[in-house]
Amino acid sequence: MTRPFLRSKSTLVVLLIVLFGSPAGAQSLSTSYLTNNNSAGAMFDIKASAGVGVLNIDDFDLNCFTSGAVQVDIWAVSGGGSFIGHQDDVSAWTLLASTVVTSSGIGTPTNLGLALGLQIPAGSTQGFFIYLLPGGSVQYITRSGAFDTVIASDGNIEIRAGIGKSRGSYPAAFDGPNFGGFTPGSDARAWSGTVHYSSFAPAPTPGQAPRPGQAVFDVNDAVNANAHRVTTGEGGPYFSSIDQGSAFVFHFEGGGYQPIALLYGALNPLSATFPGGIGQFDIGGPGVDPQGLPVNIGVFANGIAWSQATAPPLNFDALFFTNTAGVLDVGIAMPPFGLPAGTVLTTFQAAILSSNAPFVYISNAIQMTLD
């Protein structure tokens, strides 16, 4: 399934940043403003360099062909990844912002005045589509060579050559012709503009971190105390929210076709620890049972909860399973809770089995709050 961007939890993200992290400083990177071509839109990739933490793409300056007022739509590939392979598929994209600005004209930066805060984990790529309407055009350079070559870098991010897009059906030109890159012998289009970005100084996190390939858990695009997503691999606990009557969107990663026990309880970092790489529980307690598990936890499966204080009912299938690729995405609709916004519902944490020692891994924990 297509995993949605974190949109409704912007207030939560800002609060976490204020409480636990501070900006490491706004920075910017520009490509050349000396251009030779234009079209209604431009698609290109931005890659965060490895080892620099999580970068937030905040704003753009454009090199616009048209003077006067122009509407600018900023799209991003949903869930991250390159634009390549999605250039004609509107369902693969999320509209981040739509704004009307007064163009400064060709060769001069036109700032959009946005505060996107779109995160790109270290070493990851994010595809963008910048589209102007009605009648506006984005400047770029038609240059020899393939697209996806680096046209600007500063050690933190790389801006890569992409393609131009002709005007298509409203609201976006996804069905418009592509210029450059995909036709043999055609030249790439190097977008002209400036990327404004920032990063955040990480705060210590006491909770279990996700372990790629072993135990990764996400719900509705959770963030930790640094306002960083699960994909960063930082320590937990993580925090997410759900609207009244909407769905939990659970995402698990582990070994191929492995059982998952989804547990819940009150948030309590380091409630129990296990040796040999198994990990730590951040829910339940205080105290542990004779097996070393935290007390006051339950099992959640298919929308049915079972408390460890009583025996499970007969024929109760308490386990989820990853697919052969080691991934499971499942949405479970919940009825209206009838509780005020801001109520903490519970904290989830998964135990994912493995075919190799230590045979079980504990995932990061995620506390759920009602929007």
* Tokens read off for 190: 């190097």
Task: Tell me the C-alpha distance between 110 and 101, whole Å.
Answer: 8
pLDDT, tens digit only, all 371 positions of the chain? 223 233 333 334 444 443 444 445 689 999 999 999 999 999 999 999 876 767 899 999 999 998 889 999 999 999 899 999 998 888 899 999 999 999 999 999 999 999 998 988 878 899 999 999 877 899 999 987 777 789 999 989 999 999 998 877 655 567 777 776 555 456 889 999 999 998 765 667 899 999 999 999 999 989 888 777 898 888 999 999 998 888 889 999 999 999 999 999 999 999 999 999 999 999 999 999 998 899 999 988 755 555 555 555 444 467 888 999 999 999 888 777 788 888 999 999 999 999 999 999 999 999 999 98
Closest CA to 125 of 83, 96, 182, 167: 83
Inter-CA distances, 241 with 10, 338, 351, Å: 11, 15, 21
Q: Where are the domains of the chain?
A: 24-200, 216-370
Instruction: Check: CB of residue 223 under 8 Å from CB of residue 240.
Output: yes
Top-tier CATH class for 24-200: mainly beta
DSSP for 30-98?
Answer: E--S--SEEESEEEEEEEEPTTS--EEEEEEEEEBSSEEEEEEEEEEETTSB-STT-TT-GGGEEEEEE
* Tokens read off for 320: 């989820």
Instruction: Check: CB of residue 158 under 8 Å from CB of residue 166.
Output: no
* Tokens read off for 289: 């049972």
